[in-house]
Structure 1
Amino acid sequence: MTRALNKLSASFVRTAPIGKYSDGGGLWLHQRNDGGAQWFLRITVHGRRREMGLGPLSSVTLKQARTEAEKWRAIARQGKDPIKEREKERRQQERNLHLLADVARDCFESRKAELRGEGKAGRWFSPLELHVLPKLGKVPVAEIDQIDIRNALAPIWHTKAATAKKAIERLSVCIQHGAALGLDVDMQAVAKARALLGAQRHRVEHTAFLPWQDVPAFYASLQPDTVTNLALKLLILTIGTRSRPLRHIHLDQIDSDVWIVPADQMKGRRDSGDDFRVPLSRQALDVIDRVKPYARDGFLFPNVRKGVISDATMSRLMERRGMDARPHGFRSSFRTWCSEAADAPWEISEVCLAHSTGGKVERSYKRTDFLEQRRDLMQRWADFVDGTS
């Protein structure tokens, strides 16, 4: 027999004396001695009677209490425990309240191990910090959609295309991180935002480089033997490395006439863990000998105060001379020389620049780094650069 429902009236509820009063269907009002009043639901689940609070009378009306009671009775009819189900809902709501700023920082912390220098330079996080978090950082990540992302990045989508691309890629990683945390995020939000933003109009500008014919004159002009001049000379002579490994070169990395660059300092080699061997020409060994008196704590190119010279030190020298070319451009100078003047094999030239050659399967079988062949080519390059040949 169905139990009677809706026994109470709103007027009675407002003036109910101390005691417990049934509205039917397990819904009760408890008027306490201290003047407060509380709604609760008595319900039987798996043979056990449970009491579930539905809130104080001061904030939950009779109508609202009846609605809540019916909701949880329906859950009980499905064989579920309403109290446990409500706790699940509460936890879900708390998870969905995680702000993007918190998720982004947690994501950054979890990725530090795979970033160069554990991300201390801030390059991975800075596009988010500068262009996304100021606008979306305080928004729960579960509420972020493609419109939010489009509006945040539209101002820089064409004017700062490279930065915008990094920002949206890293935002995508953060949203995936949110999903891994159990948050109810929109995994397609970034893809839909890209569609709204459209193709970028920005044209990629490659680093300006010095024609290979002009490199010997520039090399000869690097006088006297200052730390910056010697760093630029060694960069030109050991063209396979980039600025970071050269600036951090340490005496312990020099093994006879080979410089062994740790994998974590080489672009594209951090995941594989393979160190990169650089054959040192006679001229490169001479530069190393000349810079040794400047060494501090084993580092050949120390800064005036602490650490090593900055990434901008060599670029500023070329800029002060009124040159458009930059240090990274010497890689292009070398590669063009290999093709136009040295008639060097393509594969050897690419390995000199620390580029991967062949497909993934091919590389898994081909384990050589062509050290001897590169030694010959790098010596020919050094002889050309210093005017020996």
Structure 2
Amino acid sequence: MTILRPRRVKPATVAEVNALAKSPGRHSIGESLILCVSTSGAKSWIARVRDAEGKRRDMGLGPFADLTLAEAREKARALRKTGRDGLPILTRAERRRAIRKIPTFKEAAGIVHDERKGIWSNGKHVDQWKTTMETYAYPKLGHLTVDKIGAAQVIDALGEVWQKRPETARRVRQRIMAVLNWAHAREFRDTQVSNEAVGLGLGPQRESKGNFAALPYVDVAGLLLTLRAKETVGNLALEFLILTAARSGEVRGADWAEIDLDKALWTIPAERMKAGKEHVVPLGARAVEIVKRAQTFQCSNIVFPGHKGKAMSDATMAKALREAGVAREAGTVHGMRSAFRDWISEETSFPSDVAEAALAHTIKNKVEAAYRRGKLLAKRREMMDAWANYCEGGSNVVRMVAG
């Protein structure tokens, strides 16, 4: 293999270098040494060298003021020799990572599990998290260091179970991504694995009988970006449903009399609730904004009107979801409630009773129900604000509140 050498430039003198330091740009000093002068006046030395594979690399040597011309030339010579000798040429960050041991996926998952198990209120969930990773993730990913795992490896790990056990596979996918995001946050990885690429590679799941297909919560932020690209009453209603974790019928039948924008509350009367009990929903900033935007479509007492001002049909939001690129077998309108509930379980320590109250689920145990008569409004508002932040593409790390 022929290794190309950089074009030789006559070495500059100290006086010439000092003169070049006064003009912005990249100035060749000779012997693969470059003086970089920014428009702001900052100056630094750069060595242009070839690594062991013959690839050109520009390596920063340090600030102009910290190195004399002779010292910069000596550093550049040392780097060129390293490349000629077939040794790796590493940046400062790469040297730090080389010294710092990068954990395997199994080791990283164990750390994440230990960090989170103390805040998960459901003991069964703690056990399931570990068991599903051992069964479905570790066989293909466990031995790999976290910096060597990309979308292809995640797809390969989940490929066999993605259609056979869709609900389990979806949860495992979310847990794998949580571990890889943790690794990125701890700087064991330079980049995050593209969740969108993983979804495209796995493809849509078959619709499971008896259950509504649920979009993974990690895909919700991307969905909202797509919905906002085109403002229609259907898109607004669907986003409002996602942010409030409400049922389709509750959103479609929302009446202006139920909305209190000053208090940021939506009070759904008992006759419109599945359980037959009044339900109060705290509205976050974006949910309030959606309601205000819906006023431009106002033609009746319905917040999100359909044909001739009547309540929109269930198909309208389903159509909005399909047009946003979510196939029926990949996610349904009702399944968005599952995405919210999964996020609560996987990523936060919000108590289960607060989550169940937000979903307006019926409590079968009469004794337990007696203790939950309060609306838990303040805690639910905090939880829904955290959910809205996550849906905005905010940090995957949400503030963990005491149970």
TM-score normalised by length of structure 2 = 0.43
